[in-house]
Amino acid sequence: MSETLIHILSFIVVITPESAQSVANSILSRAFFTMPMSDLALGKLILVAECSDLPSIEQEVAQVRDLTGVQAVTLVYHQVATADELLELLP
């Protein structure tokens, strides 16, 4: 039996500055993404997600894309590993 794979992803989201706060609040209320950085005045968000299910990632990204004011959602990093492989990376 194979181990479950964990997906770690990060995205840049470009939004209109006028809708930045409402988009950020909508994204954070869903509890799928964390937002380690944002510049609402410039309309840019950095999102990070971790999950074991690719369809759920696709669904969540589609829902972010559908928010009013979102201009682009771009994947910038995607790592796939088992839990044991990730634990090996810890100091």
Distance CA 13, CA 45 (A): 5
Its pTM stands at 0.88
The pLDDT averaged over each successive group of 10 residues in the chain (91 residues) is: 84 96 94 94 96 89 96 96 87 81
pLDDT at 2: 61
The pLDDT value given to residue 74 = 97
Q: Identity (one letter) of the amino acid at 59?
A: Q
Q: Looking at residue 31, what DSSP letter applies?
A: S
CA–centroid distance for 40 within its chain: 16
User: According to the model, what pLDDT value does residue 1 have?
Assistant: 43
* Residue 53 CA: distances (Å) to CA of 7, 45, 58, 87, 89: 8, 23, 9, 19, 22
pLDDT for the residue numbered 17? 93
Residue 27's φ and ψ, nearest 5 degrees, are: -65, -50
